[in-house]
Structure 1
């Protein structure tokens, strides 16, 4: 039988002091988890539980402003992926425009050489 480690319970003041240090020092989540021997999911859970603007987590106004001005990494990656998608669609559109022009030119050349009309005329019976 595998023995599990007992679940550690942290007090609210401890959680808040760790989060205050994380926000004010600029340390990474990884560094904070190592410093306090925490598991990564633990710090993520605390960050969700006590967001930057919450009343329970008093931070200096400069720190709050700095944190609220910086876009979240996930927002940034979403924006980057959308920009890449837009660029990909633009290239695809340009390629299709070139193909369309090439087909029109082929039809034009075929009409000149064969002397027949390939494009339908307006009002033609079907």
Structure 2
């Protein structure tokens, strides 16, 4: 795997964990496209809607003094200069982890100067957490 992606992914997860909206804005490509499935309902959205969603999520986390629990499930090189990271994300509020998570299939593309950007996402929202599934928690 490209070492620049590993470094980028560490940074991206730290931005997420700290709910740093100003840093996240710089990571999402203008041409970003996504699909989210929630309770069987499909919603397609782009850059602007994505930023609105992240801003709301980060605001909720900060307002509730919640901690993001992020687990890297897998990293898959897709093609030259594109890598997918599958990430499970949930919140812990008052030390209690929610019973569900969102599963993010996120495709990142490397541009000039090892500048990685999030270009596509497929998100399964409200997935039940199963303690028997082995996933590496990113700390």
- Same fold per superposition (TM over 0.5): no
TM-score interval, smaller chain? under 0.3
The structure that is strand-richer by fraction is 2
Give the alignment's TM-score, normalised by structure 2.
Answer: 0.23
Give the TM-score, by structure 1 length.
0.24
Question: Which structure carries more helix by proportion?
Answer: 1
